[in-house]
Amino acid sequence: MSPFLKSSGFKDDQLIFLPISGLKGDNIKERKGTPDWFEGKTLLKTLDSVEIPRGCQDAALRIPMLDGYRDMGAIMAIGKVEQGTVRPGQKCIIMPINKVCTVHTTFINDEPMKFAKTGENVTLKMQGCTEDMLTKGFVLCSYPSDPVRVVTKFKGMMQIIELPEERPVLTKGYKAMIHCHVANEECEILKIYEACSMNNMKKKEKNPKFVRENSVAWVSIQLARPTAVDAFTGCSQLGRFTLRDEGRTIAIGKITELPKEESEKAKK
């Protein structure tokens, strides 16, 4: 796994390997059946020791919606806090539909909480919206300042992993499905600005007509519908994406730049 993860941009100090058995539960909660050569923590203790950057908790709220439903007349929303902190009584805006609403109650594991921080899965009792406004892929944001940007195109950097046999090269006009946070949209490659081989990142080709597998490409991508996303340097969880075609993941990447004019319209 190390060569693949390094080629995907991970560094040695960001990787943790540990032996576990999901079938028997070895080294997940307790150190039963753990090999003698391994002196590290169990899986759960490792996860508990991972520190979330403080900036993510203090930044503007970002909760990509997984689902919205009605429970005995109450409007409920399910999502994961990818950035910021959510509290009861907090005013929010749903993007990309620009619907202002209010969080009435915050639940974690069906227990009402005073707040929920970055990384926590939450169920929210909402006011001022309907369940169909909490569609999968929409993002609940801070209001009135700094909502997430809504765009129909962006620039990105991506690694080409695997292409279908019937389409062994990626060119301008290539259509696929893009997955960014929990949003799934049709997309099209508008332009390839630069490309290089994974084996030689310094030798870049300007404006190539196509790229093959095991290449890195800097591209412009057109989305079929306005979508709430962010640049990787903003909220990283909303700035990562994958491209899928013919049932396989053909590329993984990150959003490097959003159009200024579209982000300004979204804020208005």
Q: Any idea what the CATH number is for the domain that residue 253 is in? A: 2.40.30.10
| Structural contact between residues 84 and 60, judged by C-beta atoms closer than 8 angstroms | yes
Q: How far apart are CA 253 and CA 5, in angstroms?
A: 13
3-state secondary structure of 265: helix
**What is the share, in percent, of the chain residues with pLDDT greater than 90?**
66
Read off the pLDDT of residues 70-82 as tens digits, 9 standing for 90 and up: 998 899 999 999 9
Read off the pLDDT of residues 44-90 as tens digits, 9 standing for 90 and up: 999 888 876 666 777 899 999 999 999 988 999 999 999 999 999 99
Q: Which residue segment(s) compose the domain that 65 sits in?
A: 56-142
Please give the model's pTM, rounded to 2 decimal places: 0.80
| Residue 61 lies inside a defined structural domain of this protein | yes
Residues 239 and 172 in one domain: yes
Q: Which two tokens stand for residue 8?
A: 């995907």
| Residue 181 lies inside a defined structural domain of this protein | yes
Number of compact structural domains in the chain: 2
What is the average per-residue pLDDT within 127-153? 92
Angle CA(240)–CA(63)–CA(259) in degrees, nearest 5? 50
Residue at a domain's end among 142, 167, 200: 142
Residues 137 and 178 in one domain: no
* Residues counted in the chain: 268
Residue 137 confidence (pLDDT) above 50: yes
Residue at a domain's end among 142, 158, 191: 142
Q: How far apart are CA 89 and CA 113, in angstroms?
A: 12
Residue at a domain's end among 93, 125, 142: 142
Residue 263 confidence (pLDDT) above 60: no
| Residue 8 lies inside a defined structural domain of this protein | no
Backbone angles phi, psi at 26, to 5 degrees: -65, 130
Residues 172 and 155 in one domain: yes
Q: What is the H or E stretch that residue 45 is in?
A: helix 43-49
Q: Which two tokens stand for residue 30?
A: 């307790």
Q: Which two tokens stand for residue 45?
A: 């203790």
Top-confidence residue, 198 or 209 = 209
pLDDT value for 261:
58
**What is the share, in percent, of the chain residues with pLDDT greater than 70?**
95
The residue type at 48: D
pLDDT value for 39:
86
pLDDT value for 262:
42
What is the average per-residue pLDDT within 165-193? 94
